[in-house]
Structure formats: C-alpha cells, structure tokens
C-alpha cells in the first residue's frame, strides 16, 4: 500500500464534487432494475400497426390554408406568437400550465436483498504468458540504405510498390524454438533479405502477476519482466513471428529490426496470404488471444487488439470495452515519461454496449447515505480500497487516506485481510459497476424528471424537395414506439415534442385531449421562447392519435413552400427553452438542410474559401465563425440538453460552426450530402433508428481520479468543461468515448502501480440517477523496456489522431504533422537508444508492440484532416474532425486502416472470414472481388477479370460489363455465396455506430478513384506518402535524433 500522503492531492481531489454539494438527503435510490443492466431492446421491426392514424381531416386544410410562412407578421403584430388552430374549434394555449407532462412512473420497490450478484470467486490469474517479443539479428543488407525520402526504385510505377510477392526462395518459418523472426514491417518485397538466423531460446516464465486486491503486491521479477497479456503459449504457424524470448536476452534486446526498403534486394519473407505487417499482427493476435477469455484480474495486462474477437471476464479491472490504455506499464517518473515521449492516455467509453455473452455492470445500492467513498479524495468504494483494523476502516488506494466504515457496511476480514463478502459485492471485486445515486447527486437537490426528446424539422424548400421532411415524418410515426427504456416490458417514459421551422418556428400542441394538433408560430426569433407548455411535451402512448395526425400533416402543409432561408440558433434555443420549462434533461434531434442566413441570432455567412487550405490561415476553417454557438452550448450543457444534428446539405453549411453545439453536448453529427430520398433514405433511416433507440445517459458528469503520482491533464471528446476536472456531458451515449491524458505530478511506485477510477454520474432514460464506476490498474516500471513491451498501438494512434485533430484548430496543419512525426520519431529513437540491442544504424528497429506505429501514423498524417486532397470539401473535413474526436479505438482503427477482405476467397462452409489483405492496390487481383470497410464506408471492388461464376453468384450478372455500379445493396440470390456475403456485410454494419452504405466499384470505373483513396499504404493523389516512403522518412528522422 502506498501510504504516501501528498498534500497536493488535496487540491484537485479533496473538494466535494462541484455540482453535488449541499444536497439534502431524502429517500431516493429505491428504484431498481432487476438483473442489472437492461437487456437490449427488441430489434426495431418496422411499422407498428396497432393504431389507425387519424384521417387528415378538415383541420389539415385549415392549417395549410391559414399558414403563410412568408408573411408571419400578418398575425397579431404586437406579439411574436401566433397561435394557429389547426382544427377550427381548438384554442391555442399560450399560458404556462402549472403541471408539465406526465408524472414519472412510481418507483418500484427495491428488493432489500443483496445485489443480484454472484461472482465466480477469485480469478486464477492466467498462466504467465511467454514473452511476445522477439529478437533477431539482422542480416545486413549489402549496402546500407540510402535513406532518402524518395521512393526506392521499384518496378511498379505508381505506388512505389514492390514486385509481386510470388518470389520463391524465402525460408518458411521454422518451428517455434528456432523460428527466425520474420518481421515484414518494411515493405516486404523491397526489404533486405529475410534470413534472420538467430534462434530464439525460450524465456523463463515471468513471475505470477498479482491480482491487485489480494494483499501486498509482489515485486516483479528481477529482470523486470512485466506480466504480459495473452495465452500461455503461442501457437506456431507459418508467418507468425515472435517466438518466445530468450532468458539470456535482456529486455533490451527484444527488438524488431526492420530493414527499410532496399532497391534491388530480395523481398522479405513471403507473406502468408499476402498478409503484411498490419494484417499479420492482427492475425497473430486473433490466434494468440482470441481463443480464451480475457480475464481482467491481473494488473497491467495488455488486452487483445480491437480487431480480435474475444470474451471479457471482469475480475477487478474495467473491461477493455470500457477502457483502453496507451500503456499498461507506465514509467515511474516523469523524466522517464518525457524521455520516451510515449503518451499516457486512456480511451474511455463509459456506457459501451457489451456483447450478449458478457454481463453489464451490476447495480449496487449503498442505501440512503449513498455510495461509500474516501473521505478525502472522494473516490468510490472499489477493489483498491484496503480494509484494515478488522474491517472497521479502509485505506484509499488513490490518496491513502483512512476512512471509517459506516456500521451498515461493516464486514469481517478473512485471514488474508479481505472482507469475507468481497465476492458478493461488485464494488469490492469487479472493475465496473453502478451505484444508485441519492438525491444528493441530483441537480438542485431534486429527483430528475424523465428526459424528453424533441424533434426539430427544417421545412424550408430544400428540405421538402429532397424528400427529407416526408421521410422523417413517416419514420417517426413508428420509431416513437421504440424510444429507449430500461425494462423492455414497460413503455418508455421519455416524452416527445415537435417543432418545424424555416425562418420562423412552428410549435405543436399534441396534447392527448385535442382532436387535432395545434400549431403556434413564433416569428420573433431574436428572443426565443416556447409559446406553449401544456401539450408540447407529451407521452407517446397517450397522444398517439394527435401525434400521428401531426406527422401526417406536416409534409402536406409545407409541400408548396418557397421559403429557402433558415435559422439555426433559435431552433436549438427553442428546444433548450422547452427542456428548461419542463425542468428536465433531454435530446434535440435537429434535421437541417442549409446555411442559416436568415436574420436571427447565430446567423452565418458563407465563408468557404478553399484558397486558405495549406496556408497559416487554414486553422480558421475549423474554428466557429461566431461565438454565439459556444455560448449556447454552455447553456445547453447546464440544462442537460444534448443536440444531435442531421445535416442534408446541397452546398456549404459551415459544419465547423453548426457542429459546435452537438460536439459540446455529447451529441452526434450525421451528414447526408446531396441527399436524395430514394437513394439515401436507407442510410439515413438506419442511422436515425439507431440514434433514437441507443442506450444513453443524460445530464452526465464524468470525473477521473488517479492514484498519487499521476493526474489527468487533458481530455478529448464531445463534451464541455467548466473547470479542469469535470467532464460535463449533456448526453452520453453508448458509442461516445472520452480520451484522457495523464501526466506525472510525482513518482509512481512499481509496487502499487497506477490506479484510475472513472465515475460517471448520469440520469438514465427512465429518470434514475446513477453512478457508473470503472476502475483500472496498470503497472509501473523503472525500465524503459518494460514500458515499450506493454503499449497498445491502436490506442496510441487513437490518442494521436485526437490530439492532432484538435491541434489544427490553432496551428497550421503542417506544424501539426511535423510535431506528430517528431514525437513518434522520439518514441522510436528512445527505444532504439535504450532498449534495442546494438545494431547497424541502417536498421530501423521497432518495439514489438509498436511495429505498426509507422504504418498507422502515416494514415493519420495523410488523412483528409491533416493532408486534404483537392476533392474534399471544407465541410467534410470539419465533419470528420468532429467525428474522430469521440471515436473509440475499434472505430479509429478501421477509419485509419480500413479492412480489405478478398471475398472471392470466401469459404461459404464455415463462419471464418477470409484473411484481410493490406490496403494497397498491388494486393488487388484482377480476378478478385474485395470488400473494403472504413467504419463509415463500404465498398465492393470487382476486378475486371473476376470469374463469371463469382459474378453470377454475387450479382446475378453473367458478365463484368453487366454489373450495375449504381446498386446500393446486393441482390438477394438463392445461393450460399450470395447469402454468406450479405451476412458479412450485415455483420460489419452491425458492428459500427453508423450505417455504411454499400458502393459497388468496378475496376477502372470512375468511382475507383474514391475507393483508391482508402488504399492507405499507397501514395495518394493529394501527395500523402506511401508506407514505403514514410518508413524511409521516419527512419531518417530517428537517425537524426540519435546522431
Ligand atoms: Zn482517497
């Protein structure tokens, strides 16, 4: 136990959490959802047919007749409010009603018994895996490299691509004990000869790592080998590298020697299935780590890669689905951290959806006095608290302060010092769980109202003409039956409201007692307010007939509109004011089509200027053009008003500015450029359905606490911060991540490791206040080699991308790129200098777990944000920048290094996918068909010589020339191949938070240009380097640093 009590810890952590203070106690916290986290909702099955829409009666006619959008001032000039009774006899309400909306459902009695939790007992830490690193001596290329940034002279012209990999004489990987490491990290065909003759003796097993909660941690072995993740044995297979380490080899000799491309050299080892570095690493990880569950009871284990399918067993640390770290063995000192330049960060996805075979966090109720916490740093009860004095007190793992155990929580200790109820209590034995929060944790000391969803629909000319209005209204009629709920058997208590707008706003009264909806127009958009309270936010079931009628009428009412101008600021203000009036949190769904040029707060002008790209002023393109929206965002966050924006632009709409509110409130932006009803509705509707139904929390505050020695210093994601510690999220859905960077403020200890606890306070969709807690412990090291052996490159890239994408707001993109290259060069140079065995300066030596750093880094550098081509719009760049800022590691991986599957090799018998190939044109065979997936896009590339049978099976077309390149879905054909391919496409879509539209790309077709943009190992049109060139460049940088 670390008993080092540093007074400085008190300042950031010693205070009661802002926003939680001073609340009085009441008996909140007795709502309980049996079985913990709710089961997933039933899939959305299309229209419900149990009700009859009210016929669009007379009232519709009167509404459209009475409504003159272009001349709102003809109504009641003295007031901005015009009530327009849709049915002749209804009376518009403008006075606030005392009671707003339906009361929350009565709390269900909480079964007083212990939480429904049974742990499987203490985890046997997995057998110590053998080292996954490798060392081999490099066969020196005859002449040491000309490391210039010029591509090596190679046979294929356009991609610096090596000759085909069919050359024969490469040694097959011999069996495990003598297997030479065949790192093909360099471009294989151009790398130096691949005979790495040095055999790799076995490494002795590392010491058994300790579960962090069982007594004092044991010191690591003398050699400093940290516990390694993964199964105990590596299964040898051809092309797999990295036999176990030798016992003689000090950690510093564990290296990857990558021979940079050498013109005229023999190609590297024969890639298996044409696999290259990323593919091989991904496949190795699947083989080594995908076969048994990842058990989280061992501190500092590097989890399987995001591309590996694996099961997680929570035995004391948060699942990697919730938290992934850049380093699982942090340097003990800040000097070491600075020397290595390895970023210390965690990518946290607090509400991540878990696979069906994994249990979600259990719900824990500590009673009326609320969750038990450290008196000093306020950390929540967790497995890192050490019970002492027979169980009467506990010492905090974060700040070492000793706190009394309240009598109702007392329990005896066993002979090892563990509480005897340890495994009956999630908060003592698991990495993730939820506390029921008491009223102390509620805003204004009041139990929250259930949240509300407000739909705000642009009904200007463009929005009507492209079909958006009709599609949204039609869809909402059924989608409203699938609002999020915690218990699938109980109706959602989320209330809904509707607004349409162009230059003016139309509010709708859809109170259940009305025969027809009523419209109220607010034309004074300068000072937005909500003209009605009673009847605006309603329960769907109660007001179904009126809502149905409204959604039927809206498309007709605006069918002939000629209004082209829109407002945007007042639209969000309207939603915000409605939530304020209802005293609840919620989400706005804004469906918007154009640049808001109408006279109103938040009015924008067209500032699109592509000439700024590449200049020092480029950064202004990513900044908001007015400060209005950041102020509005602040107000939204204070209310718990999350904003999701669906854009349907035909031209520049200034996403950089319109996106400010969504990205500050935990919201999402969706963009459907040149939206056309028929062609694009599938993607839009799938996105909308997912977005409306997804699990989310409202009015959330996230705080990350750490043990003495490090602290969170920087945060990335879609949120707002009004101080340096609290991440405020008006909404937080299951797809959003927050990336947290840590810096040292003291020394860390190898013995205790470094601890972090992420606590998210939020209101569930049923209106229950909860605290979700994720705990994570990592190791700490005094040897750089230990750090370099326990990094996670995909997470490092996720962090770097977010860091760089934020950097472009204030710096020229060139500077951002340069500093990124420089930092990575320093990381690798530090490794080379301090950890790698001596070798020729001509070799590029990479740590095993960073083998892919250069190839992925190049993808970030040449991405549309940092290195745009002429064909990408400013709006798309702003959009992608905002998107990446909240991405998890799996999504950023696919985004930067898309998955490319040779589907002509598909085996229709089994479930296995064909092994992916590298993202390079030279990997494409003319006779093949490939599926490329980026997380946002899906392409099916068809080679010109693809076999007739294959084309018949996929497309039902007898010849290449007869394939229709405009199809967006594959025909449903009755053959196993077609069936399997469509299944794969659906499974890819199911894995991503956004729907991927399928594009069929025929070789040599004009669409191929778009497809080739994603072949990220190749040089691209905008001057982005090929992997080969970039590797040479990196090597040059590293050598400069070392000399
Ligand atoms: Zn503490």
Q: How far is the CA of 724 from the centre of ligand 1 (A)?
A: 19
- What tokens were used for 545? 């007939």
Among candidate residues 955, 948, 946, 1008, the one with its CA nearest the CA of residue 981:
955
- What tokens were used for 358? 């994994």
Mean pLDDT of the chain: 79
SS3 per residue for 886-901 = CCCHHHHHHHHCCEEE
What are 340-343's contacts with CB under 8 Å, separation 24+?
340/784, 340/787, 340/788, 340/826, 340/827, 340/830, 340/831, 341/823, 341/826, 341/827, 341/830, 342/787, 342/788, 342/791, 342/796, 342/827, 343/741, 343/796, 343/799, 343/800, 343/803
Q: How far is the CA of 323 from the centre of ligand 1 (A)?
A: 21
Q: How far is the CA of 749 from the centre of ligand 1 (A)?
A: 17
Per-residue pLDDT, averaged over 426-454, amounts to: 94
- What tokens were used for 380? 């929540």
Q: Could you give the percent of the chain with pLDDT greater than 90?
A: 67
pLDDT of residue 150: 35
User: What would the pLDDT profile of 505-524 be if each residue is shown by its tens digit?
Assistant: 999 999 999 999 999 999 99
How far is it, in rounded angstroms, from Cα 47 to Cα 192?
62
Q: How far is the CA of 446 from the centre of ligand 1 (A)?
A: 27
How far is it, in rounded angstroms, from Cα 300 to Cα 298?
6
Residue ranges with strand state E in 444-532: 452-458, 495-501, 505-509, 518-522
Q: How far is the CA of 400 from the centre of ligand 1 (A)?
A: 6
pTM greater than 0.95: no
How far is it, in rounded angstroms, from Cα 557 to Cα 548?
14
Sign of the C-alpha dihedral, residues 315, 316, 321, 326? Answer: negative
Q: How far is the CA of 20 from the centre of ligand 1 (A)?
A: 17
Per-residue pLDDT, averaged over 438-449, amounts to: 91
Q: How far is the CA of 403 from the centre of ligand 1 (A)?
A: 9
Q: How far is the CA of 398 from the centre of ligand 1 (A)?
A: 5
User: What would the pLDDT profile of 658-710 be if each residue is shown by its tens digit?
Assistant: 999 999 999 999 999 999 988 899 999 999 999 999 999 999 999 999 999 99
pLDDT of residue 929: 97
Per-residue pLDDT band for 8 (boundaries 50, 70, 90) equals very low
Among candidate residues 50, 64, 953, the one with its CA nearest the CA of residue 464:
64
Q: How far is the CA of 8 from the centre of ligand 1 (A)?
A: 13
- Pick from 212-216, 462-466, 704-708: least confident: 212-216
Per-residue pLDDT, averaged over 450-470, amounts to: 97
How far is it, in rounded angstroms, from Cα 681 to Cα 676?
7
How far is it, in rounded angstroms, from Cα 681 to Cα 687?
10
Q: How far is the CA of 433 from the centre of ligand 1 (A)?
A: 19
Residue ranges with strand state E in 492-647: 495-501, 505-509, 518-522, 538-539, 586-592, 641-647
Among candidate residues 857, 717, 758, 832, the one with its CA nearest the CA of residue 277:
857
Sign of the C-alpha dihedral, residues 629, 632, 633, 636? Answer: negative
Q: How far is the CA of 415 from the centre of ligand 1 (A)?
A: 25
Is 759's pLDDT higher than 50?
Answer: yes
Q: How far is the CA of 394 from the centre of ligand 1 (A)?
A: 10
Q: How far is the CA of 13 from the centre of ligand 1 (A)?
A: 8
Q: How far is the CA of 702 from the centre of ligand 1 (A)?
A: 17
Q: Could you give the percent of the chain with pLDDT greater than 70?
A: 74
pLDDT of residue 743: 97
Count how many Cα atoms sit within 13 Å of the Cα of residue 22 in the half-sphere of its side chain. Answer: 4
Work out the angle at residue 682's Cα, subtended by the Cα atoms of residues 678 and 685, and round it to the nearest 5 degrees: 115
Among candidate residues 533, 536, 459, the one with its CA nearest the CA of residue 497:
536
Among candidate residues 400, 299, 260, the one with its CA nearest the CA of residue 750:
299
Per-residue pLDDT, averaged over 542-567, amounts to: 97
pLDDT of residue 88: 35
pLDDT of residue 257: 54
Q: How far is the CA of 294 from the centre of ligand 1 (A)?
A: 29
Is 233's pLDDT higher than 50?
Answer: no
- Pick from 1-10, 485-494, 563-572: least confident: 1-10
Q: How far is the CA of 773 from the centre of ligand 1 (A)?
A: 15
Is 181's pLDDT higher than 80?
Answer: no
User: What would the pLDDT profile of 483-504 be if each residue is shown by its tens digit?
Assistant: 998 888 888 999 999 999 999 9
Among candidate residues 851, 996, 868, 657, the one with its CA nearest the CA of residue 240:
851
Among candidate residues 899, 666, 890, the one with its CA nearest the CA of residue 795:
890
Is 200's pLDDT higher than 80?
Answer: no
Q: How far is the CA of 879 from the centre of ligand 1 (A)?
A: 40
Q: How far is the CA of 838 from the centre of ligand 1 (A)?
A: 45
pLDDT of residue 727: 97
Q: How far is the CA of 401 from the centre of ligand 1 (A)?
A: 5
Q: How far is the CA of 619 from the centre of ligand 1 (A)?
A: 42
Per-residue pLDDT band for 816 (boundaries 50, 70, 90) equals very high
User: What would the pLDDT profile of 997-1034 be if each residue is shown by its tens digit?
Assistant: 999 999 999 999 999 999 999 998 888 999 999 999 99
539, 513 Cβ separation under 8 angstroms? no
139, 193 Cβ separation under 8 angstroms? yes
pLDDT of residue 279: 93
Q: How far is the CA of 333 from the centre of ligand 1 (A)?
A: 21
Q: How far is the CA of 25 from the centre of ligand 1 (A)?
A: 23
Among candidate residues 244, 245, 228, 225, the one with its CA nearest the CA of residue 236:
244
Q: How far is the CA of 16 from the centre of ligand 1 (A)?
A: 12
Q: How far is the CA of 2 from the centre of ligand 1 (A)?
A: 11
Per-residue pLDDT, averaged over 837-852, amounts to: 87
Q: How far is the CA of 546 from the centre of ligand 1 (A)?
A: 54
- Pick from 8-12, 876-880, 958-962: least confident: 8-12
- Pick from 31-35, 282-286, 423-427, 851-855: least confident: 31-35
Among candidate residues 1017, 1025, 1023, the one with its CA nearest the CA of residue 189:
1017
Q: How far is the CA of 14 from the centre of ligand 1 (A)?
A: 8
pLDDT of residue 276: 60
Q: How far is the CA of 404 from the centre of ligand 1 (A)?
A: 12
Is 112's pLDDT higher than 50?
Answer: no
Is 601's pLDDT higher than 50?
Answer: yes
pLDDT of residue 435: 97
Q: How far is the CA of 761 from the centre of ligand 1 (A)?
A: 18
Q: How far is the CA of 664 from the centre of ligand 1 (A)?
A: 30
Q: How far is the CA of 380 from the centre of ligand 1 (A)?
A: 8
Q: How far is the CA of 178 from the centre of ligand 1 (A)?
A: 50
Q: Between 210 and 568, where is the model more confident?
A: 568
Length of the chain: 1043
How far is it, in rounded angstroms, from Cα 942 to Cα 279?
21
User: What would the pLDDT profile of 862-898 be if each residue is shown by its tens digit?
Assistant: 999 999 988 899 999 999 999 999 999 999 999 999 9
Burial class, 292, CB count within 10 angstroms (exposed 0-12 / middle 13-18 / buried 19+): middle
Sign of the C-alpha dihedral, residues 327, 332, 334, 338? Answer: negative
Q: Residue 960 forms beta bridges with which residues?
A: none
Q: How far is the CA of 414 from the centre of ligand 1 (A)?
A: 23
Q: How far is the CA of 697 from the centre of ligand 1 (A)?
A: 26
How far is it, in rounded angstroms, from Cα 257 to Cα 191?
11
Is 18's pLDDT higher than 90?
Answer: no
Q: How far is the CA of 428 from the centre of ligand 1 (A)?
A: 15
Q: How far is the CA of 774 from the centre of ligand 1 (A)?
A: 16
Rg (CA), the chain: 30
799, 741 Cβ separation under 8 angstroms? yes
Q: How far is the CA of 590 from the centre of ligand 1 (A)?
A: 43
How far is it, in rounded angstroms, from Cα 802 to Cα 813?
14
């Amino acid at each position: 136990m670390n008993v080092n009590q540093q007074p400085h810890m008190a300042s950031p952590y010693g205070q009661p959490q802002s926003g939680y203070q001073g609340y009085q106690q009441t008996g909140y916290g007795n709502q309980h959802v049996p079985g913990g986290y709710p089961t997933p909702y039933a899939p959305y099955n299309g229209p419900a047919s149990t009700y009859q829409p009210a016929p669009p009666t007379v009232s519709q006619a009167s509404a459209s007749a009475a409504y003159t959008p272009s001349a709102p001032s003809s109504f009641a000039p003295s007031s901005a409010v015009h009530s327009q009774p849709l049915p002749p006899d209804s009376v518009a309400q403008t006075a606030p009603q005392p009671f707003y909306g339906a009361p929350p459902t009565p709390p269900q009695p909480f079964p007083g018994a212990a939480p429904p939790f049974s742990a499987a007992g203490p985890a046997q830490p997995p057998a110590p895996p053998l080292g996954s690193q490798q060392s081999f001596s490099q066969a020196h290329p005859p002449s040491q490299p000309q490391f210039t940034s010029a591509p090596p002279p190679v046979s294929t012209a356009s991609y610096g691509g090596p000759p085909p990999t069919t050359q024969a004489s490469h040694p097959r990987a011999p069996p495990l004990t003598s297997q030479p490491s065949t790192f093909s990290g360099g471009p294989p065909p151009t790398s130096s000869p691949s005979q790495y003759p040095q055999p790799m003796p076995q490494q002795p097993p590392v010491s058994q790592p300790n579960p962090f909660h069982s007594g004092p941690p044991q010191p690591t072995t003398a050699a400093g080998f940290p516990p390694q993740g993964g199964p105990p044995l590596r299964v040898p297979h051809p092309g797999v590298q990295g036999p176990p380490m030798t016992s003689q080899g000090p950690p510093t000799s564990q290296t990857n020697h990558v021979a940079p491309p050498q013109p005229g050299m023999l190609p590297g080892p024969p890639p298996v299935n044409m696999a290259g570095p990323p593919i091989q690493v991904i496949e190795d990880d699947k083989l080594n780590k995908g076969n048994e569950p990842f058990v989280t009871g061992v501190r500092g284990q590097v989890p399987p890669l995001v591309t590996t399918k694996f099961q997680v067993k929570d035995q004391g640390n948060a699942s990697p689905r919730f938290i992934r770290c850049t380093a699982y063995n942090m340097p003990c000192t800040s000097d070491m951290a600075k020397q290595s330049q390895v970023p210390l960060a965690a990518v946290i996805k607090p509400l991540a959806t878990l696979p069906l075979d994994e249990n979600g966090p259990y719900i824990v109720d500590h009673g009326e006095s609320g969750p038990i916490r450290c008196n000093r740093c306020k950390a929540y009860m967790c497995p890192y608290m050490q019970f002492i004095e027979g169980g009467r007190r506990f010492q905090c793992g974060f700040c070492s302060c000793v706190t009394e155990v309240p009598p109702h929580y007392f329990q005896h200790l066993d002979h090892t010092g563990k509480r005897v109820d340890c495994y009956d209590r999630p908060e003592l034995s698991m990495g993730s769980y939820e506390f029921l929060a008491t009223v102390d944790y509620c805003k204004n000391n009041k139990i929250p109202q259930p949240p509300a969803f407000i739909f705000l629909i642009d009904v200007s000319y463009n929005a009507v003409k492209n079909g958006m209005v009709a599609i949204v209204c039609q869809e909402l009629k059924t989608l409203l039956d699938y609002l999020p709920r915690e218990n699938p058997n109980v109706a959602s208590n989320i209330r809904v409201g509707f607004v349409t707008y162009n230059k003016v706003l139309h509010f709708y009264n859809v109170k259940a007692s009305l025969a027809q909806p009523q419209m109220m127009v607010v034309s004074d958009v300068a000072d937005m307010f909500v003209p009605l309270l009673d009847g605006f936010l309603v329960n769907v079931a109660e007001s179904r007939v009126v809502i149905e009628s409204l959604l039927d009428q809206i498309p007709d009412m605006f069918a002939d509109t000629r209004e082209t101008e829109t407002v945007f600021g007042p639209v969000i203000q309207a939603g915000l004011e409605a939530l304020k009036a209802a005293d609840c949190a919620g989400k706005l769904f804004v469906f918007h089509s154009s640049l808001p040029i109408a006279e109103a707060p938040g009015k924008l002008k067209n500032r699109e200027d592509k000439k700024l790209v590449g200049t020092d002023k480029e950064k202004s393109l990513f900044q908001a053009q007015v400060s209005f929206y950041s102020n509005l965002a602040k107000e939204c966050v204070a209310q718990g008003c999350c904003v999701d924006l669906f854009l349907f632009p035909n031209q520049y709409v200034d996403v950089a500015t319109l996106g400010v509110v969504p990205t500050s409130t935990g919201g999402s932006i969706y963009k459907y450029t040149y939206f056309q009803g028929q062609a694009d509705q599938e993607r839009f509707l799938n996105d909308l359905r997912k977005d409306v139904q997804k699990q989310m929390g409202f009015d959330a505050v996230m705080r990350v606490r750490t043990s003495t020695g490090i602290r969170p210093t920087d945060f990335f994601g879609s949120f707002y911060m009004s101080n340096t510690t609290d991440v405020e999220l008006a909404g937080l859905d299951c797809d959003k991540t927050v990336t947290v960077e840590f810096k040292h403020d003291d020394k860390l200890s190898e013995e205790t490791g470094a601890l972090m606890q992420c606590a998210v306070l939020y209101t569930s969709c049923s209106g229950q206040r909860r605290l979700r807690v994720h705990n994570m412990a990592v190791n700490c090291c005094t040897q750089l080699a230990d750090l370099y052996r326990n990094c996670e490159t995909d997470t490092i890239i996720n962090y770097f991308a977010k860091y760089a994408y934020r950097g472009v707001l204030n710096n020229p993109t060139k500077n951002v790129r340069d500093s990124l290259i420089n930092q990575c060069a320093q990381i690798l140079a530090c490794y080379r200098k301090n950890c790698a065995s001596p070798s020729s300066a001509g070799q590029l030596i990479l740590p095993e777990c960073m083998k892919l750093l250069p190839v992925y880094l190049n993808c970030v550098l040449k991405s549309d944000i940092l290195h745009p081509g002429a064909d990408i719009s400013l709006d798309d760049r702003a959009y992608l920048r905002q998107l990446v800022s909240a991405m998890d590691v799996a999504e950023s991986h696919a985004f930067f290094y898309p998955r490319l599957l040779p589907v002509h090799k598909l085996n229709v018998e089994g479930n296995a996918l064909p092994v992916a190939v590298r993202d390079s044109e030279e990997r494409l065979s003319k006779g093949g068909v490939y599926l490329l997936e980026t997380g946002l896009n899906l392409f099916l590339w068809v080679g010109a010589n693809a076999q007739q049978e294959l084309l018949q099976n996929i497309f039902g077309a007898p010849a290449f020339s007869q394939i229709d390149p405009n199809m967006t879905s594959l025909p449903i054909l009755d053959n196993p191949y077609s069936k399997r391919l469509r299944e794969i496409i659906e499974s890819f879509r199911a894995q991503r938070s956004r729907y991927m539209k399928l594009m069929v790309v025929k070789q040599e077709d004009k669409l191929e240009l778009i497809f080739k943009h994603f072949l990220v190992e190749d040089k691209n049109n905008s001057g982005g380097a090929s992997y080969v060139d970039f590797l040479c460049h990196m090597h040059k940088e590293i050598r400069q640093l070392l000399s």
